[in-house]
Amino acid sequence: MYKLPALDAVKELKAIAVLTSGGDAPGMNPAIRGVVRAALSHGIRVYGVNRGYSGLIIGDIWEMNSRSVTNIVQRGGTLLKSDRCEAFKDPTVRHQAAEILREREIEGLVVIGGDGSLTGAALLAEESGIPVVGLPGTIDNDIHGSDDTIGFDTAVNTALDAIDRIRDTALSHERLFLVEVMGRDSGFIATQVGIACGAEMVVIPEVEFKIQSLCFQLANNRVKGEGSSGIIVVAEGPRPGLTYRIAQQLEENGQSPKVCILGHIQRGGSPTGHDRVLASCMGATAVDYLRAGYSSIMVGVQKGEVLDVPLKEVLERKKPLASEWIAMSSLLHK
Amino acid sequence: MYKLPALDAVKELKAIAVLTSGGDAPGMNPAIRGVVRAALSHGIRVYGVNRGYSGLIIGDIWEMNSRSVTNIVQRGGTLLKSDRCEAFKDPTVRHQAAEILREREIEGLVVIGGDGSLTGAALLAEESGIPVVGLPGTIDNDIHGSDDTIGFDTAVNTALDAIDRIRDTALSHERLFLVEVMGRDSGFIATQVGIACGAEMVVIPEVEFKIQSLCFQLANNRVKGEGSSGIIVVAEGPRPGLTYRIAQQLEENGQSPKVCILGHIQRGGSPTGHDRVLASCMGATAVDYLRAGYSSIMVGVQKGEVLDVPLKEVLERKKPLASEWIAMSSLLHK
Amino acid sequence: MYKLPALDAVKELKAIAVLTSGGDAPGMNPAIRGVVRAALSHGIRVYGVNRGYSGLIIGDIWEMNSRSVTNIVQRGGTLLKSDRCEAFKDPTVRHQAAEILREREIEGLVVIGGDGSLTGAALLAEESGIPVVGLPGTIDNDIHGSDDTIGFDTAVNTALDAIDRIRDTALSHERLFLVEVMGRDSGFIATQVGIACGAEMVVIPEVEFKIQSLCFQLANNRVKGEGSSGIIVVAEGPRPGLTYRIAQQLEENGQSPKVCILGHIQRGGSPTGHDRVLASCMGATAVDYLRAGYSSIMVGVQKGEVLDVPLKEVLERKKPLASEWIAMSSLLHK
Amino acid sequence: MYKLPALDAVKELKAIAVLTSGGDAPGMNPAIRGVVRAALSHGIRVYGVNRGYSGLIIGDIWEMNSRSVTNIVQRGGTLLKSDRCEAFKDPTVRHQAAEILREREIEGLVVIGGDGSLTGAALLAEESGIPVVGLPGTIDNDIHGSDDTIGFDTAVNTALDAIDRIRDTALSHERLFLVEVMGRDSGFIATQVGIACGAEMVVIPEVEFKIQSLCFQLANNRVKGEGSSGIIVVAEGPRPGLTYRIAQQLEENGQSPKVCILGHIQRGGSPTGHDRVLASCMGATAVDYLRAGYSSIMVGVQKGEVLDVPLKEVLERKKPLASEWIAMSSLLHK
């Protein structure tokens, strides 16, 4: 359980708004609920914006009450719907969005999404002066400035559940499976899943893949009497098709691997307890930051503590995967 | 709960053997347990054959006791491992297998698998005179002579769980998803899953697919105010790549569908209650049939009753998908 | 997959209504959806009645459309809410309910519930002449005239999932657990769950419980080297407290069992594929029966076939648990 | 993902041993696997001790290899079995245990368990001079010196899954449910579960319970139009029967609550991804600490970092539940 910040309110807010943007992540609903319940408890009106920035720029906005978020804490997806909005890259469009917020006396905006969405948030805040607080909502856990993101834990567990099933067939048929998990250009999901499922190897963008090492390890497993079954977890990586390319290389080396692409199942489903709690408290904390007069920040988690991270800092760096985890992953598969 | 047959034993059996063959299916473990526990309770020795016919022909056989099957009822896969064995198509090889069984005084064999495996079982019984009883073990539910097969219910539920997750993203992003499920050249899994997940359409080999009907229905949904989200369940069908071909056709018609291939997760996982009970009682009943002097039969389910079906009959026909289910599926999506 | 009836419509219906009554069961939502979608596809208006008979007698009724049942197929509980209504036992009150239906030109009522609810349905139909069709909606599977009820399969799987967890502790601590499952005064859930979880013994109302047999079997397991861990599944039975009484008797015989009462978790949760399909087709079939001019019947399943059963027949008998299943359950635990 | 320590080995170890003790917790198996794999990779022999201290004092010890821990990462319970051992409180018995370890040239012991087990570990290390490293293995999360314990995350998710089901019935019947969760005399599980399930109230030992506040809040919910359904999560607390006492008080105040005691299901089941990763890396880190010459410490997590905590410090204090989480829990239910 994280340490939560203690903040003094310096502003009386009339109304705030909340939106979800980019790829959906399990936990967006409890995050919305956290924002709504915290705002209402301080007498602040809350507006929900439909379809992320796409809804904001056309004023698709509605007032939410306590009942709007009843019975959603356990639902995947986002009740506010989400979208990737190209138009929001245009400053004129963002200016328009700010006008729409001002018309409704909205004095703060909470944006839940990945780094694309947070970039939009930072620009909107800077240009319009409207306070904006971001929440890291993405299954990929690739947001600099936060050790954890909303949806990551659920995605890991969903992938694990799928791989536990695949392991049954791998063992029954003494077969090798390549299982591709999500994660864009980082290996967070793959490493966590690989350790947790007892994978024979994890292929991630952070480490150069060599077919020889893989073949060597597979031969080694056989020598140790572990048979020819196995699970290799592959991070999708920046270029599509990696898993199929590895499968082909394995075939050229005398293996007959099967390929599974887990795909979109990793985005959905009821959020785990961890993600529900993280999202709920980040949502509530976002309201506290707005009341304390902060803007252009993201609510992040660092060293077990929930805190504010300047959006600028969040967006200018890539979050690295700690090398000790890569080592740990390889140690445990031996 | 099925009606179970009441059989009189006419033979004293010294020993029987059990093997699992072909693609693994959740429920093979409780089926093995049913065979083992029932045999032991009648004082019959039981041998387990590893890796299906591949193990049989090299004598990879071991004696099982009650503890061999402790704590396996809830495990996916098969503790006896499975294989597809090309060599068993050769009569000389089958002759050899029969010799191996006779050497161990094995007077009955239980084969758990799909139609390829049951074909081997029928030939072995006919040529060698060793009594063989088959159990329909396949997630595809495509065995003639049995309304239900071991593993089908679990596969349907696994696919459903995945699609319920995908639905979260479909709704949040108002997106159309094509989800490919298993089932070889029949539409049992797809139809059952389609009805159960509330799919907008089901594409199965039994019904000619027309891109126009699909586009028409999608347009219709939009008119009714159901938005542009949707799930289309596609049976993999006899030729790979169908789902991607449909996606392309949809794109040519102005849609932007996403594709998910559920793949091997459908084969594994802890069997459902239904599959555990079906498999357990089929396993125990197979022993009863052997004791009653039957051979060359499969234990099947028809009209709510567990009964014997001649293997010959099982293998000469293809099991049709009832047209009323196709109609029901289309009615409920309206 | 069940055989579905083919019915000819003889009546043009203007409107029908649907309600859920008694204890909720997973699958009630897909049943409602089946009724609504089938009715709309035939141009029949559909009304939803809130809170079962309690809502009917005060006219808490609303018109449903296709969107009313969007995205509910996977939800537990019932969107129409449910209640046990004592007042409906009074003929005057039922007369009033009939008036309310007539005022809205409702020419058919679908009642989803257990035997108490179906009794109300039968009386309403008989006294008012308004056609009523019942669906067996109860986790207990104790409705005469149907081999299967909506919710039973889900309840069995939920109980199994819980017991699979308890088994981990039972094995780790070599402990004996008594697990109480629902089922009112019948042993359907307990027997199915007991077979599926590999229980050491099943205690059901249909078979007299003798502490000596249980102690004998536990001693026997130890002799066979199976250790002292074990799961005993106990059906709640007609009188509360049975499981604690057995625990005490075991303690007096030198055992130290732990007790778990699974309780209400068995009523909820996303319905299984089986229950979604069963409920969907029973709901759609109920509409067909109303259109074909039937009344005072229940949609049931017998011998693998969906058919009509006179409510009178349903209500005058108790459904027995087949003795062969009791024998099977005891065979597999040996 | 936690920061892992970087340690220099100062000792060559011939052999170490590992045991699990006290109540079992999901994740004990991956913890054992972490110890075994890490030790083997450094050329250290590893012994498994069966049944915790009970096995240690009778020398029930076996040598493990890499295959001993194959395919266990996803299993609940502990393959080494566990026990609460009263005899180990006797110094003579502990002396005997040390002798048994020395005879086998075991130069380090890893103990996985709760505070009772860690007390035994501290005494054994102090008296015998054999290096001992503890891992916090308990679902209750009540170990001072570590923000997280092995099994807590899984227990929270299991309880949540159960409560999500109960919520279906609560909503369908507009009923109030009191759900009792584990946690001994602390409210960690209850608070986490309460936030995550959207409970109307959480009753924990850390906050004095007043029936008036609860009744007031329930009345308030009704005024806000949230109906009379609700979930109240109750921590079991130090004295059994609390939940029933609250139920009775509610009845005296005109409510009709239902009671569910979740019980032992919270101890079992496949560990979550979080618990598998935490346990794996704690297990591997324990070996690193032994190689670095540490003793009488526990591997803990503080501020997002895995580190060593003196056992003395662990055992002399009670871990408090942060008041900000109590406030957060109450804020979100409003």
Alpha-carbon distance D111 to D104, whole Å?
17
Assigned domain for C331 exists: no
Alpha-carbon distance A46 to A17, whole Å?
5
Q: Which residue type, as a one-letter code, is found at position D186?
A: S
Alpha-carbon distance A83 to A58, whole Å?
13
State both tokens at C37: 């979608």
Q: Which residue type, as a one-letter code, is found at position D275?
A: D
Give the torsion sign (CA, C112, C117, C120, C126). positive
For A196, what's the count of Cα atoms within 13 Å in the CB-facing half-sphere? Answer: 29
CATH number at residue D97: 3.40.50.450
State both tokens at B325: 């289910």
Q: Helix crossing, A273-291 with D323-332: angle to 10°?
A: 90
Question: Is B82 within 8 Å of chain A by CB?
Answer: yes
Q: Can you name the residues that pair with B203 across neighbouring β-strands?
A: B234
Residue C34 marked in a binding site: yes
pLDDT mean over D79-95: 97
Residue-level length of chain C: 334
H or E, element range at A259: strand A258-261
For A56, what's the count of Cα atoms within 13 Å in the CB-facing half-sphere? Answer: 33
Assigned domain for A10 exists: no
pLDDT at D225: 66
**Could you tell me if B143 and B170 lie in one domain?**
no
Alpha-carbon distance B80 to D263, whole Å?
35
Question: Is C85 within 8 Å of chain D by CB?
Answer: no
Nearest to A71 among D6, D70, D171 (CB): D171
Assigned domain for D6 exists: no
Measured CA distances, D49 to C181, D53, D56, D65, D106 (Å) = 35, 8, 6, 14, 12
State both tokens at C281: 């087709």
**Could you tell me if C175 and C205 lie in one domain?**
yes
**Could you tell me if B223 and B158 lie in one domain?**
yes
Alpha-carbon distance C124 to C85, whole Å?
14
Measured CA distances, D301 to A332, C76, D142, D144, D148 (Å) = 20, 38, 13, 10, 6
Nearest to D331 among A41, A171, A274 (CB): A41
Alpha-carbon distance D316 to D296, whole Å?
14
Alpha-carbon distance C29 to B120, whole Å?
45
Strand residue runs (E) in chain B: 15-20, 45-49, 61-64, 106-113, 132-136, 176-181, 201-203, 230-235, 258-261, 297-302, 305-310
Alpha-carbon distance C312 to D34, whole Å?
64
Q: What is the mean pLDDT of chain D?
A: 95
Domain of residue A191: give its range.
153-267
The contacts of residue B237 (CB under 8 Å, 6+ apart) are B183, B185, B204, B205
**Could you tell me if D231 and D216 lie in one domain?**
yes
Give the mutation candidate from D222, D331, D333, D334 for the A interface (greatest A CB count, under 10 A).
D331
How many other CB atoms are found less than 10 A from the CB of residue D67?
A: 12
Measured CA distances, D108 to A240, B258, D63, D82, D98 (Å) = 47, 54, 14, 19, 11
Nearest to D78 among C167, C172, C265 (CB): C172
Assigned domain for B225 exists: yes
Assigned domain for C328 exists: no
Alpha-carbon distance C205 to C203, whole Å?
7
pLDDT at C332: 87
**Could you tell me if A251 and A289 lie in one domain?**
no
Nearest to B76, CA basis, from D130, A9, D71: D71
Assigned domain for D76 exists: yes
**Could you tell me if D52 and D84 lie in one domain?**
yes
Q: Which residue positions of A form the known binding site for ADP? A: 33-37, 167, 198-200, 224
pLDDT mean over D43-51: 98
Nearest to C272 among B3, B188, B272 (CB): B272
pLDDT at B219: 86
Alpha-carbon distance A274 to A1, whole Å?
9
pLDDT tens profile A282-305: 999 999 999 999 999 999 999 999
Report which DSSP code applies to B3: B
Alpha-carbon distance C118 to C137, whole Å?
10
Assigned domain for A7 exists: no
What parts of chain C have a pLDDT lower than 50? Answer: none
Q: What backbone torsions phi and psi does residue D39 show, to the nearest 5 degrees?
A: -60, -50
CB contact under 8 A, A264 and B75: no
Give start and end residues of each alpha helix (H) in chain D: 28-41, 52-56, 91-103, 115-128, 152-173, 188-197, 211-223, 242-252, 273-291, 311-316, 323-332
Which 10-69 residues of chain A touch chain D by CB within 8 A? 30, 33-34, 37-38, 40-41, 66-67
Q: For residues C119 and C89, is the Cβ–Cβ distance under 8 A? A: no
The H helix count followed by the E strand count for chain C is: 11, 11
Measured CA distances, C206 to A90, C175, C191 (Å) = 74, 27, 10
CA of A183 to nearest chain D CA: how many angstroms apart?
A: 15
Measured CA distances, A196 to A158, A183, A204, B1, B309 (Å) = 12, 16, 15, 38, 45
Alpha-carbon distance B319 to C124, whole Å?
43
Q: Which residue type, as a one-letter code, is found at position D150?
A: I
pLDDT at D229: 87
Which 263-282 residues of chain B touch chain C by CB within 8 A? 270, 272-274, 276-277, 280-281
Assigned domain for A332 exists: no
Q: What backbone torsions phi and psi does residue C20 show, to the nearest 5 degrees?
A: -115, 140
Nearest to D26, CA basis, from B26, A26, C164, A275: C164
Q: What backbone torsions phi and psi does residue D83 show, to the nearest 5 degrees?
A: -165, 160
Chain centre to alpha carbon of residue D199: 23
State both tokens at B310: 């001649």
ipTM greater than cut 0.85: yes
**Could you tell me if C119 and C41 lie in one domain?**
yes
3-state class of D60 per DSSP? Answer: coil
Measured CA distances, D310 to D131, D138, D304 (Å) = 12, 18, 18
Answer left, alpha or beta for residue B89, where phi above 0 means left and psi between -120 and 50 means alpha: alpha
D166-183 burial, b for 16+ CB within 10 Å, e for fewer? bbbbbbbbebbbbbbbbb
CB contact under 8 A, B67 and C37: no
Taking CA atoms, what residue in B is nearest to A260?
B263
Each residue's pLDDT, cut to its tens digit, for chain B (334 residues) gives 789 998 999 989 999 999 999 999 999 999 999 999 999 999 999 999 999 999 999 999 999 999 999 999 999 999 999 999 999 999 999 999 999 999 999 999 999 999 999 999 999 999 999 999 999 999 999 999 999 999 999 999 999 999 999 999 999 999 999 999 999 999 999 999 999 999 999 999 999 999 998 998 888 877 776 677 899 999 999 888 999 999 999 999 999 999 999 999 999 999 999 999 999 999 999 999 999 999 999 999 999 999 999 999 999 999 999 888 989 988 887 5
**Could you tell me if A22 and A139 lie in one domain?**
yes
Nearest to B74, CA basis, from B107, B32, B30: B30
CATH number at residue D214: 3.40.50.460
Task: With beta carbons under 8 A apart, name residues in chain D contacting C76.
Answer: 165, 168-169
Alpha-carbon distance A3 to A10, whole Å?
22
CB contact under 8 A, A167 and B78: no
For C26, what's the count of Cα atoms within 13 Å in the CB-facing half-sphere? Answer: 30
Residue B272 marked in a binding site: no
Alpha-carbon distance A122 to B3, whole Å?
67
Taking CA atoms, what residue in D is nearest to A306?
D303
- Of the candidates B83, B140, B148, B275, the residue annotated as catalytic is B140
Taking CA atoms, what residue in C is nearest to D22?
C173
State both tokens at C183: 């089922």
**Could you tell me if B259 and B131 lie in one domain?**
no
Relative to beta strand C297-302, strand C132-136 is parallel
Alpha-carbon distance B22 to B84, whole Å?
5
Question: Is A320 within 8 Å of chain D by CB?
Answer: no
Total structural domains within chain D: 2
Q: For residues A37 and D331, is the Cβ–Cβ distance under 8 A? A: yes
Question: Is C157 within 8 Å of chain B by CB?
Answer: yes
State both tokens at B134: 């088959």
**Could you tell me if D216 and D249 lie in one domain?**
yes
Alpha-carbon distance C285 to C38, whole Å?
8
**Could you tell me if D279 and D236 lie in one domain?**
no
pLDDT tens profile D116-174: 999 999 999 999 999 999 999 999 999 999 999 999 999 999 999 999 999 999 999 99
What parts of chain A have a pLDDT lower than 50? Answer: none
Nearest to A157 among D37, D167, D272 (CB): D272
Which 285-314 residues of chain B touch chain C by CB within 8 A? 301-305
pLDDT at A334: 57
The contacts of residue C10 (CB under 8 Å, 6+ apart) are C291, C292, C293
Q: Can you name the residues that pair with C258 across neighbouring β-strands?
A: C177
State both tokens at A175: 């077969």
pLDDT at D330: 86
Task: With beta carbons under 8 A apart, name residues in chain A contacting B267.
Answer: 165, 168-169
CB contact under 8 A, A272 and D71: no
CA of D133 to nearest chain A CA: how many angstroms apart?
A: 19
Percentage above 70 pLDDT, chain A: 99
Strand order in the sheet with B132-136: B61-64, B45-49, B15-20, B106-113, B132-136, B297-302, B305-310
Task: With beta carbons under 8 A apart, name residues in chain B contacting C37.
Answer: 331-334
**Could you tell me if A94 and A170 lie in one domain?**
no
Q: For residues A47 and A61, is the Cβ–Cβ distance under 8 A? A: yes
